[in-house]
Structure 1
Amino acid sequence: MDQDQLLSRDAWLASLPRSYTAAGALVTDEAGRVLVVKPNYRPGWQFAGGTIDLGEDALQCARRELLEETGLDREIGRLLVVSWIHPSEQLNHPSVHFLFDAGSLPVGTEVTLQEAELEEYRWAEVEQACELLGEARAPRLRAALAARADGVVRIMSGTVSGI
């Protein structure tokens, strides 16, 4: 390629895709139930988590969001799943979601919801959690549980919005 055909650095950077980036935490209890939360600003259930703020990394985001949303101050463990969601009618940019292991808590652990964003939480059996999480997030839960069991990070790609 001729040097004259190369884009300037600024033009090249401007041509790259942008993505929404988020991180969440998989928390279970000692009975194997999954913590899921229900936001008040959109339908459906999700993992505790949210979009990564400027200046923080995915681990920091997962810990911050878990604490803000549930009052649970947990060390965030290893990465379980990375999800890439292609642009769609719902999102004009791709999204990337990192799901980390936040461990297991005693049965009956109370959660303090962030009332500004969440209206409910549940400790749900895996199948019930999959139903609540729906088609966008249930595959992520199954992949996270498999990754937790065998130590292999799962990488997923899809078209259903799941940020």
Structure 2
Amino acid sequence: MTLADDLSAEGEPEREFNPGIAQRLPRKRVAGGALIRDRAGRILFVVPGYKPFLDIPGGIADADESPLAACRREVREEIGLDLPISRLLVVDWMPAHGVWPDGLMFIFDGGQLDDDQAEALKPTDDELTGLRFLPYQEAVPHLRPSMARRVGSALHALAEGQPRYAEFGRS
């Protein structure tokens, strides 16, 4: 079944019980990122040119794009690999902060790269100035605190085999 098939099976959309309410409902930003490791267990981080912190590969979902599809697309755009990203590790609610509305951040298991893949890796997106494989503890000082907590939760989920829910990185 495709998404179009599923939408068709839903039938006609519900009518607004109060005209205009759908446009007044809050919108959340949604993002998907990948926890990608090398054979030594180090985590792949991207070095964005537009902020002073490291990040994991991934990004904001486009309109009508799922968090998983956004993650896969962003990984292809940022590092040029089409990885079998699938298993959910973390869903993290982020509060509004500055100009950014609240949102839901998803981390998926990006798997482990073999030595040849890891060695040949380079950024394929102009927004990035580099890539770094780091052990989690070495990466923490270079991450926003909420991202450090989120990645830590993802590592626990990976080890436990169960996804986690977090709020601002706290499980």
Contact 1:31 1:107 in 2 (8 A): no
Matched, 1:86 2:90: no
Q: Unaligned regions of 5+ residues in structure 1, if any?
A: 1-6
Shift of 1:145: 0.6
Name the SS of the counterpart of 2:77 in structure 1. Answer: helix
Contact 1:130 1:141 in 2 (8 A): no
Identify the match of residue 130 of structure 1 among 137, 140, 163.
140
Matched, 1:33 2:42: yes
Cα distance between partner residues in 1 of 2:46 and 2:153? 19
Shift of 1:115: 4.2
Matched, 1:55 2:38: no
Shift of 1:55: 3.2
Q: Which residue pairs with 2:166 in the alignment?
A: 156
Please identify runs of 4+ aligned residues in structure 1 that moved more than 6 A.
none
Q: CA RMSD in A?
A: 1.9
Cα distance between partner residues in 2 of 1:115 and 1:87? 27
Cα distance between partner residues in 2 of 1:80 and 1:9? 38
Over residues 39-70 of structure 1, what are the superposed CA-to-partner deviations in whole Å (9 max), with x where a residue is unaligned?
11122110001110123211111111111101
Moved more, 30-39 or 101-110: 101-110
Over residues 46-101 of structure 1, what are the superposed CA-to-partner deviations in whole Å (9 max), with x where a residue is unaligned?
0001110123211111111111101122011210001111112242x211111100
Q: Which has the higher contact order (CA 8 A, sep 6+)?
A: 1
TM-score (norm 2): 0.81
Contact 1:84 1:157 in 2 (8 A): yes
Compared with structure 1, are the counterparts of its residues 16 and 131 closer, same or farther at alpha carbon in structure 2 (3 Å cutoff)?
same
Residue identity over aligned pairs, in percent, reads 36
Matched, 1:96 2:140: no
Name the SS of the counterpart of 1:8 in structure 2. Answer: coil
Contact 1:32 1:126 in 2 (8 A): no
1:83 partner letter: D
Identify the match of residue 65 of structure 1 among 48, 69, 74.
74
